[in-house]
Amino acid sequence: MTKITIIGAGGFVFPFRLIGDLVSFPALQDATLHLMDLDAGRVARTARAARELVAHHGLGVEVLETTDRRAALADADVVIITFQVGGVESYKWDVEIPRKYGIDQAVGDTVGPGGVFRFLRSVRAYEDIARDALELCPDAQFINYANPMAMATAFLNAKGLRTVGLCHSVQGTTRMLARTLDVPYDEVEFVSAGINHQAWILEFRRRGGEDLYPRLREVMTAKHQRGVAAGDLHADDGDHSEAALAASNYEGGNEQVRTQLMRSFGYFETESSHHASEYVPYFRKDPETVLEYIPERWDYYEICLAHDEQGDVDQQLEKLKADLSPSVEYGASIVNAIVTGVPAVVHGNVPNATGVISNLPADACVEVACLVDGTGVHPTSFGELPPQLAAINRTNTNVQTLAVRAALTGNVEHVHHAVALDPLTAAHLTLDRIAEMTDELLHAHAALLPESLRPETASAPAASAQDAGLEARPALV
């Protein structure tokens, strides 16, 4: 019997939606789901909904819940990580401190100062998980859904865990493009490669050979013009696991940023214009420029504050009772392919140590098509990205690899280096101001940082991530 462990299972609705995906596959309908979170009330909420779903569909899935990480990891075949250390309380500092210095992040969870510090305050939890997993389930396949995706996945692999990182930006973007061109999604073929939230749609074709890129460039340029706002858009709630049916204020409605990137560099990018604008120095110069490219603000921190967690789980439960179908997420497809041996293709985040993308650094974490079978996840060898795209990616892998190096070595200077090299930060601040901002973030997050990265004036940390309750916070994926 397959044992699937979810660490951070008490988080916002995403862990429960993932459970729905898992139990929708017949080969997994006799699995054991071991749900772990340090918050007993949160994990109990998810477990109750999971048991109700399993009972409704008459499945043989066993649902266990625990606050004991070691018990959850023992003999696990697959471990899924989905948590945010510090919750919205810490997320507040990620966005509000940089904003005070003029760095306005619409998301701030995977890149820039917000992304760096979301990763660093998670390091102690990742270290505890890695130490226990290498003892209790050394052969397990790890699936990481926690942001910042590239930094977290790179760190977990560096600690010896066989980890693939998953996102839904490739699925969401390619569906949006097909919808925009009025082409059924099952008739589309595409090639995508790059890094998480900044991968590139390198080919976009109708099955049978028609190159859709000429029409894509024409349609997107006409539809998404600088300073012109779209109206009557669907309001987005931050949950992107389902296939969108229409343009929203998150994706597809106002895509001036991604359209301009395509016009300037040749290819369409895989993350929303809101988030994509944080990865480059061009669009968030001042409030007026932001409004020209992003006419309607989408603020992930504000969305997270507004979540009705119990209500969202209840709503998702009723939907899955009525229709037990998988979402667009890749996680359950990976588990099914490992269990059955039936191959699947996903776009995953993996180490570039073997030169999967040959013109990105070997210590980068890259996002490419991967073949999954009974032996695990196998990245496909992509080769070279177009040089201008690799150059853009490298401006962000610089930040990611330095943050990971800071965590692995305990060298706090690399934290400063990582933030100073962020393209958006460097476009706004002098080095002295960046250092001042970084010091303020180090002090704000001190209680959750590894001891080696904590300012000398900060108080002593808790004995471990387990004692500190770091995994009990809601996942925001």
> Which sequence positions are flagged as catalytic?
168
Can you tell me which residue has the tokens 């120095």?
Answer: 281
Query: Alpha helix locations (H) across 297-368?
Result: 300-305, 309-322, 331-340
- Tell me the HSE value of 180 on the side-chain side, using a 13 A CA sphere: 27
CA distances for 48 relative to 65, 308, 328, 378, 448, angstroms: 10, 17, 24, 35, 30
CB neighbour list of residue 444: distance below 8 Å, 6 or more residues apart: 93, 97
CB neighbour list of residue 302: distance below 8 Å, 6 or more residues apart: none
Buried b (16+ CB within 10 A) or exposed e, 385-418: beeebbebbbbbbbbbbbbbbbbeeeebebbbbb
Structure tokens at 87: 């919750």
Structure tokens at 65: 């819940």
Phi, psi of 241 (to 5 degrees): -80, -20
Structure tokens at 401: 């690899």
Phi, psi of 295 (to 5 degrees): -65, -25
Beta bridge partners of 373: 376
Can you tell me which residue has the tokens 């929203």?
Answer: 248
Task: Please answer whether residues 33 and 65 qualify as being in contact, where contact means their C-beta atoms are separated by less than 8 angstroms.
Answer: no
Using a 10 angstrom Cβ sphere, with 0-12 exposed, 13-18 middle and 19 or more buried, the burial of residue 325 is exposed
Is it true that the peptide bond before 148 is cis, omega within 30 degrees of 0?
A: yes
CB neighbour list of residue 41: distance below 8 Å, 6 or more residues apart: 10
CB neighbour list of residue 451: distance below 8 Å, 6 or more residues apart: 460, 461
CA-based nearest residue to 438, from 205, 179, 116, 39? 116
Q: In angstroms, rounded to a whole number, what is the distance separating the alpha carbons of residues 82 and 10?
A: 9
